[in-house]
Amino acid sequence: MTILRLEGIEKRILRKEILQDISIQIKKRSFTVILGPMGAGKTTLFKIIAGCIKPNKGRIYLRGEDVTDLPPQKRKVAMVFQTFNLYPNLTVYENIASPLRAVHKSNHEIKKKVLNQAEILGISSLLYKHVYELSGGEGQRVLIARALVKEADIYLFDEPLTNLDYKLREGMAREMKNILSAEGFEGTILYATPNYEEALSMSTTNSNTILLQNGKIIWSGTTLSSYLKPPCIAFAENFPSPPMNFFESRLIEEKDDVYLFANDEIKLKVTHLKDVFQENEYILGLYPYSLHTEKKDEKMIPIIFSLILAEVNPSGTTLHLE
């Protein structure tokens, strides 16, 4: 069942095209990653879905109903922003309870929902603290609890982990995945991030990815397949990290065999794929993980590189080669 449908959404700000002809369909209880660099239009798209701003063109449908002209409070949409937009004058309890008070839920129901969500996110001990007493990770949990406590059809997560340090971000990504995939959770998730590794860690085998660049949808499909078989150069050169390496190559026939030559250093035998090739020139893409410092298989070919830099980072050591 399609729960959200966007048709031809366009948005201009000061004559600048922020979103161009955005048309997507989101199924109920699905997890969809909106992947794109800074300035791609992810936040603007979410604000349009939530009703915070109106599109210049196009229509928005929730559960088949046209909600384009409805205000945010009349849409069953919850949103977690990148910034910590908690109410500084309220306790954690009241911050989480605020969406429920806005729709006039009873005190009994509010208490039940707040306590339940706080227990799930491990913040029960923080309920009567104020915002200024919270760490970054604690504040982010409160933001997530405030979104999830609301009964919504769509939950929008706009780069919710970007402001956290690497170690905390890794842990929160695991926690969020467990929460959002838990049995009994009925929500539909749209998750925006510029980080492909985060997108992969949050995703399940059935989750989808939409690549957004310069306000346009470049590609959409399953998250795992987009990694194993990049759909386009724009995708592969930006995601994941480190990105795919590209080489201009040409097709050469030698006797009964067919080869791809790239940079006069790389020679790939592609005889088994000769029926696929229709042109003589191609772009050859190699993922960094496909390169090894020792021969592990007879089919592997040697390539001579010069080591430029060894970069140590939390996930391992990255070698920069030329």
Please classify residue 215 by burial: count the beta carbons closer than 10 Å to its beta carbon, then call 0-12 exposed, 13-18 middle and 19+ buried: buried
pLDDT digits (tens, 9 = 90+) for 258-288: 888 887 778 888 888 888 888 888 888 888 8
Q: At 106, list the tokens.
A: 């009873």
pLDDT exceeds cutoff 80 at 66: yes
C-beta of residue 212 within 8 angstroms of C-beta of residue 238: no
201, 236, 271 — which closes off a domain?
A: 236
Closest to 79 in 3D by CA, of 212, 211, 189? 189
pLDDT exceeds cutoff 90 at 51: yes
236, 255, 287 — which closes off a domain?
A: 236
CATH number of the domain where residue 90 is located = 3.40.50.300
According to DSSP, the residues that pair with 66 across neighbouring strands are 61
C-beta of residue 286 within 8 angstroms of C-beta of residue 247: yes
236, 267, 286 — which closes off a domain?
A: 236
| Dist. CA 195–CA 198, nearest whole Å | 5
Least confident stretch, 8-22, 64-78, 206-220, 238-252: 238-252
Least confident stretch, 29-43, 81-95, 104-118, 235-249: 235-249
What pTM did the predictor assign?
0.81
Could you tell me the residue range of the domain that residue 261 belongs to?
245-321
> Binning pLDDT at 50, 70 and 90, where does residue 183 land?
low
Residues 261 and 313 in one domain: yes
- Structural domains of the chain, count: 2
Which DSSP state fits 229?
S
Residues 211 and 266 in one domain: no
Which DSSP state fits 163?
T
Q: Count the neighbouring beta carbons within 10 Å of the beta carbon of residue 77.
A: 25
